[in-house]
Structure formats: C-alpha cells, structure tokens
Amino acid sequence: MRRTPDHPNLLVHAHPLIEHKLGILRDVATPPPTFRRVLGEIAGLMTYESLRDLPTRTREVMTPIKACSTVELAAPVTIVPILRAGLGMTDGILRLVPEARVGHIGVQRNEETHQPVEYYEKLPSDVADGPVLVVDPMLATGGSATYAVHYLKRRGCGSIGFLCLVAAPEGVQRMAEDHPDVEVHAAALDERLDENAYIVPGLGDAGDRVFGTL
C-alpha cells in the first residue's frame, strides 16, 4: 500500500494481483459474469489490509497438546455496501470475513445535480458497537460516500472506513473535507472527473456492468 502526498486520507492498494484484475474490469469488452467475479476477487484482496486495525482481545483455548492464548475479534464488524453497485463487492469481502454483518444504504446520484438522494436503509441495531466498512466500487464526486458516512455517524458509529476500486481526486478530497477521520482504501487513484461527473479513465458505470443493465 502507498499514501499519496496530496491525499493523506487515501491508501492505494498497489499490488500486482490487484492491478492485473483492475485492468480486466477497465476493459469495455469484459462481460458482466467476469466483471462480477473479478470485482469480488479484488474486494477480497483489499479487505485484508483495509481491516488491519480491527480491535482484538485474547482468549484461552485448548489445543490437542495444551492450553494456549489466542486472539479473537473484540467487536462485531459490519460491511455496508452502497446500493446497488456496492453489492458486487460484498461476497468477496464475506469470503474473507464470514463473521461480518451486512447493512445496506441506498443512495443514488441525481443525474442533473449530481447530488446524493437516499432511497433505502437497513442496518444492524447495534451497528455502532463495532467498526464499519462502507463499500462502493467508485468514489467519484464523493457525494454518495460522504452521505453514507454521515448517516452512519448519526447512528453513533465511530470507526468507519471506506473501500472502493477507483477513486477520483475530487471524491477523495470531498471525503477529507467532510470526514477527515475516515480512511479511503482504493485500488487506483484516477485522473479526474469529466463533465458528467464520471471518473476518467474509470471503468464506466459499475452498477450497470455488475448487473448487465447497460
């Protein structure tokens, strides 16, 4: 992983496997079944480092040989995909952390104003009792991402991270301004947003590519 001087809140997961798989997702010729599979694979690879600071506690267990001290997670972990594209990352994360609960926040971008509009929410009642990882393939303007984080903070969540595949500098900066305590994990920091607020070069509309609704 590496930090960029201009964005101290951003961690880029620069790994050959992640970069190889991201290239598959960027390819316009990649069909939805392959896109879904590879998206989940990247999410799983990135989760390992994204959850490095999970709180733990010790407990005693009996091995076949003798008693020993081991480590277990000290608080429930909640994954919160931003609907709908974030769903494509969830299975890959759960394969690594099957103990995690999954909440959902539905936020869509108004295509005229580019502002977030909430349409659905379902979270564990004790979501504030442990760390939360918000996931969405794209961090473009940052509107949906910062809105979701703001909503979680209103629910009392204090330990929140954000995981995406591709980030635009504008979205990373927006997160830093609105939520300086939230670390952004991305597979790549792209060039910029275009006039339609799409990431350049990006990988297109991730939701459409996941679900085949192009």
pTM of full prediction above 0.95: no
- What's the pLDDT score for residue 108? 74
* Surface-to-core class of residue 10, CB atoms within 10 Å of its CB (0-12 exposed, 13-18 middle, 19+ buried): buried
Residues 199, 18: Cα–Cα separation, whole Å: 19
Question: What is the residue extent of each domain of the chain?
Answer: 2-54+76-211
Q: How many CA atoms lie within 13 A of 102 on its CB side?
A: 16
The one-letter amino acid at 56:
T
The one-letter amino acid at 59:
R
Q: Which residues carry out catalysis?
A: 109, 113, 205, 208
CATH for the 2-54+76-211 domain, from 3.40.50.170, 3.30.1490.190, 3.40.50.280, 3.40.50.2020: 3.40.50.2020
Output the tens digit of pLDDT for each of the chain's 214 residues: 677 778 899 999 989 999 999 999 999 999 999 999 999 999 999 998 899 989 999 999 999 999 999 999 999 999 999 988 899 999 999 999 999 999 999 977 676 776 777 888 999 999 999 999 999 999 999 999 999 999 999 999 999 999 999 999 999 999 999 999 999 999 999 999 999 889 999 998 888 898 888 7
